[in-house]
Chains A and B, each alone.
Chain A
Amino acid sequence: MPLERPQTVINSGKPAGKISIRNLGKSFSLGETKVTALTNVNLEVDAGEFICIVGPSGCGKTTLLRILAELEAPTQGEVLISRDNPAVPLSSMIFQESSIFPWMTIRNNVAYGLKLRNVPQTEIDRTVDHFMKLAGLDGFADAYPHQLSGGMKQRASVARAFSNDPEILLMDEPFAALDEQNKALLQEELLRIWSETQKTVVFITHSIDEALVLSDRVLVMSGRPGTLKAEFKVDFPRPRRVYDLKADPTFGKLGRDIWMLLREEVTGQ
């Protein structure tokens, strides 16, 4: 388990938007064979934008996100991320599985980023209280994760990332394991928190509905080797409510258009 972080991603050259991905590629060797996970990915993300990336499983979505999170280095191309406030962390990632530390109370989990940065305790308390409340975790401060349901753990995971106050949030199918009701609730809560904080969000999902509900723009990825294939503007008015949106005929039509594209990738035709 390497602690060494790949030193790649951030470049001081000013990108056009918040994130600028240029000709990005990633390959790795699996035994004898060389696997290309990503190839020729180009993407501009504006500050404060909420984008969703959908793609068939195994297309390298997560790899792309891990590169943005500085957890992995690309083997080709570059990513430029502009830094607006050197005092706050650049990005925080919300992982697919439950990544909440089982050995910390919910409060300490949510406070994790702030504690690492030695933020004064009063400020930690204020921020943590605020985001625990927004994420619907009131009253669970001193509980341990094993006492909570999967949905609550994922709320804590969201609260942990938001209270770290990063410029960019990277979300890797954070709600994939949740049941429908919890998913809809958390999506709405995420949108509410996001509208309050105006962070840039890169959200990965395999659910077209989820992408349409949340984002300003949906990017469709091809199957392996993954590359961005198409982009759809999603301009439903905000604030959005999940089931109001799903009742909108344009929602269904847009969803079908994306599915037609994805279908080719999933079936390989």
Chain B
Amino acid sequence: MGEKIKSSGKLYFHYLSVALRSAMQYKTSFFLMVIGRFLLFFNGILGVYFMFSRFGHVKGYTFGEVLLCFSIIQMDFALAECIGSGFATFASIVRQGEFDRVLLRPRSTILQVLGSQFRIDRIGLIFQAIFMFAYGIIISPVDWTFGRVMTVFSMLLGGTTLFISFFLLRAAFTFFTLEGLELVNILTYGAQEHGKYPVDIYGKKMMKFCTYVIPYTLIQYYPLQYLLGRTDQWYYGVYPLCAVYFLLVCYGMWRFGMRHYQSAGS
């Protein structure tokens, strides 16, 4: 078992290095992508900033607090896109019959699809998020205890896992529809867009949906309450790790979808 994990890890990094070498072949597109993402994200921050310069606070959250929330979600999303972009673009792999080749290799399908792409251009986004997070720390009076620092890490881990699960879920649907289901994009890009504010500002119904249908509040709202000192319940900081269960569910869907696979053409 240990031997197998070691060899899979080694192979994954080998895949990454090939994906990086491929990406570097297209320098212009690489830099344009980084710049484009930067502007898009900057746009997002400005939106939040203008909102707060007008209203002062939103449902009791200050600008600094929203910045903390926003930057963590952005970082989750950027990391997920970085690592899981093989699933994000899985529709084209299936449609062109490239998945045949994946099945012809004696390795786990998940590992191969993950290794097929690595969006290094998302690195820019991650740095930006770190910068914003630092600014959020400066302007909001959070008392950084050990528990709260760990909560940030658990939010990052859980959030990235959750977004990767969304990508995986959409990839699983691809086996049935041959196209990525746009509906799932509401979860991925919708969550990214609206995730800049804590979920409770969207009302009770949204809270329920984001807790029981998709475990979104578990990686955002609840741990944030603990982080911002609105509750003393330290275990809120552990909630994000529940995203692993959601990942398992999505993995199950993937396995189920794979059995439905009909390869394409000759």
Decide if A and B are genuine partners: no
- Which A residues are closer than 8 A to B by beta carbons? none
